Structures are given as structure tokens and as C-alpha cells.
Structure 1
Amino acid sequence: MLGAGPAGAVVAMVLGRRGVRVLVVDDGRQKAFSGGETLPGASRPILGGLGLTDVLDRTPTLPCTGSRSAWGSDELAMRPGIMSAYGAGLHIDRPAFDTHLRVASLRSGASALKGRLSKVDRDDRGWIACVGSDGGQITVKCQWVFDCSGRRSIFARAVGAVRRAADKQVAVVAVAERSGHDDDLATTTESVSEGWWYSAQLPRDRRVFMLFTDGDLLTNSGARSIERFVALGRQTRHISELMATYEFGRIPPTVVLADSSSLDAAAGPGWLAVGDAAASMDPLASTGIIDALKSGRMAAEVLLGSGVRLEDYSRAILERYSQNLRLRSRYHWMEKRWSGSDFWRRRRIPFV
């Protein structure tokens, strides 16, 4: 198992509970804040079905009252969380959530190894992986590999899978400390000429602000500096109001990949890519954690022989990705105010 995020934790936990020996290989580095901090109400039955309701009980949360957006119009349109069949969502402390998922996987019987994959070979008995750990090399032999390494798809690409991206989108992310009153518990999305902004309140008196744009446009925007990032946010109509009661400090924003991309095949003989390693959906969908949990469970069922075949798994992942691209295309066509900008012009090509 490569990677210890939500997808990897679920695979390890499901397999471990069934008595399968699992080794989770992860570099153990503290991941930069990259979003995925709001869980939709639909996550509750998924976590319940996995026996993980206690993870939410242990994670600091705030209620999410709904989502609102200024998209295709200057005015905000609100969708209350109560309209969801599963109820309102939650703003979560994402590092704490991920930690509790990893603990659940280890309690199920999985083992952990701090390190990074450096080389992989295959013989008639299975995979032979070389893992760099504590300055040395450890050889790991196994029959199956689950690639849960995120958009890097480290293992899948090493064995010949090709990753293709539909765009060059990145997210510029800054977390600010509250300095005044803020009772706004909805998520806010606002489109601008260079892309779109997103913000949500977090536990522990914080709020996340994100600017989504294309990687090559980021250089011209200057948003890598916290001063320019805040200046751009204050030029908006709605995000600027949320920034008014927050202090940003001097730490530069974090820039992370936020593209829509997928492998040409999500699985092969003796391996499966799971979560973002298989396909990453546009953040507009707000389904990253749900997709990770679902694909993790489905991937484990392939190995357990629970009626999900390898080719069925790969097909389901790629169909889900195609659906997301079509939905993304429809949403982008709804925004017609910035037709002259490079970001929006590139998204005028419909996906069919």
C-alpha cells in the first residue's frame, strides 16, 4: 500500500479486518494544507457503512449550513445544507480526520513503514518493491500493490500507466486566523476573471481561502506572495467581506495541483490505483473525500473477491471521471462574464 491518506486508510482497514496482511508505505511528511476540509452530509452513511462513525466524533468540526456561489452573476445564490437528503455537512479539522483514519487502519491489523518507493520489479511470485527508508533500502515482496499516492500515481506510472490532465488548474491556499466576529458557516464560491475563489470557516478560529487558476497564469497574477494573494481577494465582491475579520500573517500561500486528471487505466494485473491516484475530480464537485472512501472500499473488494472484478473497478473509476468532466463543462459554460480571459476561454471547449 503506497500512501496513508483517506483512500489508503480505507483499503488497509477493510483488508486488515478480513485478515489480509497489509503494509502501508508512506513518507510520513506533514502534508501542506490543500483543501478537502468540508464533508458533505452524504459522507455520514459512507463512514457508518465502514464502521468509522467514531472518526467524526474524535475530529474537531463545525456545522456547514450550506453552499453559496456568485457564478455567472454578481449575486450570491444559496443552497441550504438542510436541502440535502443526508442533512448538512461539516467543516472538519482535516489533519485530525486523516490521523484518525490512519489509526483505524493500524488497529485493524495493518503495519506501517516510513519510506518512499524507489524501484519496482515483478517476477512470477509477485511484486518486488525497493523502499527508501531512514537512509537505507528495504525490499518488500507482495502479491498486490494499491497505489494511493495521490495525483503523483507513483506506482502506476512506474509500471507504465499514463496520466492525462484535462487542464492546468492549481489552487493557491492560505489559512487565516480569526481576528473578529464570524458566524458565516456556509461555503462561498466566487468566479473572477483569472479563475475562482473558495472560502470556508474551519475549527480552531480559522478560515481557508483558495484561489483556483491555471498554473501558467499564476506567475502573472503574483498570487504566490501573501501580500498579492490578499490584495486579489480584496478586489472581489464577496470573498473580500470574509477576509475583513482575518489575519493572514507573513507565510506565503501554498500552491497545490487542482487539475482534473486520470490514468489511462486505473488497474492492472496485481495492482490498483485508488482515490486521486486513479482520477482526480474538479474541486467544484466537492467530492474528493467521498470518492476516496468509495474507491478505497471498492478496491479492497477486488482483492477480497466480493464480486468486483479488476476490469469492473477500472471501468467504474474512469466512468466516474468522465461524468465529472461533463458536469464541469456545464458549470464552466454557465459563467459568461469573463469570455476574454485565458482561464475561461480554455474552458469553452465542451467535453462530450
Structure 2
Amino acid sequence: MQKVILDVDTGTDDAIAMMTALLSPELEVLGVCSVNGNRGIDFTTENTLRVVEYLGLQDRVPVYRGCSLPMVSTLAPGRRPNVPYKGPENPEDNVHGDYIELPAATIRPQPEHAVFWLIDTLMKSDGDIILIPVGPLTNIAMALRIEPRIAQKIQRIVLMGGGYREVNITPSAEFNFWIDPEAAKIVFDSGCDITVVPLDATHAAAVSVEDAEKLRAKGTKAGRLTADIVAQRHRAYKHWQPMADVNTVPVHDALAVCTVLDERVLRDVRETWADVDISGGAADGMSIFDLDRRDKSKKPNVKVALGADKALFTEMLLKIL
């Protein structure tokens, strides 16, 4: 079994990613760290606990509460006025809501902060742990800042974030990187083995409403919850960001988990130099991928996927969930 640590800002697609990882017989989830992102840390931690308890895994999978704010982006007045994020102004555009529609958690997060648990766990490891961060990268970046040696202990980072042609929060930025651009830049500059699963790939692997109903028909807890989530996301996307195929919706974060399970789920993977804009201007939080090697002085520091195998991704979700 591959050892992994999830880092989530649970919302809806995070919930599907968590269930995919937790129910996969090929992954040993050492712990799940929450972070500010889709909502404030109180909400994302509670939602994470709800999913773990819903699956009956509370005695096996510890949850660690992480950073409540981005590293820098809320310090300058006006730069991030809606962080912690409270959702869009129009309720019909609401992809997540405050809470996952599950019973309130009766379990609590571990007493240790997520960042210090990450450092301790990685430093004691044999370098055999893959990190799967699918929210803002604040926890990972803070851990790297406090103890840079963990970069040598991380087997690999497979993250969901950024976009080459696709964006979703500003005209230039994807949500996870926009929330904490400095954290994303720190991770990109860390020297770790990084695979980026951006919006370009997750949109290419959008899940159909019909396939979600196939999951519901299986009658499993994960299948029913996933079908409910896809329906909720589908309603919101029709108003907020209509897909080319109106009967589909992306479930971004689960694609990162499936990448760890089977690399073939990604398509058009490029090795490139990548950076994140931290200027505070119109491009703040924009992910930069130098696919054409315009800057010959920069060595590739990530692999980024511009596409995905939609059929394989759906097959994996149907099998695991």
C-alpha cells in the first residue's frame, strides 16, 4: 500500500477525493489535514470529520486541523476581502455551501496542529509518503518554511490547483492558488517531485450526471453521497460556469487521488518550469507554466497535465466508490 497524506479544504469535491482515497485498497491514508479554503477552517475541519465518521473510519484515520488563514494574501487591505471565503454573492452559484449534508461530527480533530504533525511524520518517515494537497497549499508551505529538510523526505506531491487555459475565481487565477499564492510559489520552489493536476485536466474529466446516478444505484454510502454532491455541483455550475457538455461537472480533487493510483488517468503531461504570480495585481494567483521554454535559464520544476482520460477516471470512481 502506498502511504499518503491528504490536505483538504473540504467542500464538495474534497469529500469525493477523501472517499476515493479512504476506500482505495491501494492507499494507506496516514492522516487528513484541513486548511482554510472553500470555507473557513471551522467549516473545512468539521466537513472533514463528517466524511471520516460517515465512512466509519474515525478509529483508523486521524484528522488534523491546519492553518486558518493564508500566509500573506490577507495582510494588504483590499487584496483578499472575502477570505476566509464565504462563497459567491449569488446563492445559485454556490458549489459547496458551508457544510457537507451529513450528520454533525461527534469526533474531534487531533490535538496536534496539522503543520507540526506533517513535519514530525515526514521527518520520521523513510521518504515513502506522497502528499495529496487539494486545497490552498498553506499547510505544506508552512511546513517547508519551518523545516526545509522535509523536502528531502517527501516522495512526491500530487496537487490539484492552478490552470493553464482554465480559471475559475478571477480572469487569471484558479481558486486554490488565488487563496494563497505565496504558499503555491513556496511549494513550486521547494525542489520536490511535483505533479500538478490543474483545471485543464479536471474539466477534461468532468463526471456526467448519468454516471453519478450509476453510483447512487450501487447503494453504497460513498456512492449515494457522491451522487448527491454531483447533483449539487451540477446545479451550481449551470448558473456559474456552464460546461461545454451541460450534463457534466468537474470533481477536481478526486482526479489528483486517482493520479496517485494510476498515472494513465492524466493526458498530455508536460515537464516544465512553473511559477505563481504574487504581485497583488490583476494576475495575482495566476499559475505560470512555461510550456514553450521561453526562459531557457529556468529548469523544469513540475509536471503538469493538460488533459485527462475521462472514461478511465469515471471507471475508477465507479469501482472504488
When normalised by structure 2's length, the TM-score is 0.31
Larger strand fraction of residues: 1
TM-score normalised by structure 1 residue count? 0.28
Which structure has the bigger radius of gyration?
Answer: 1
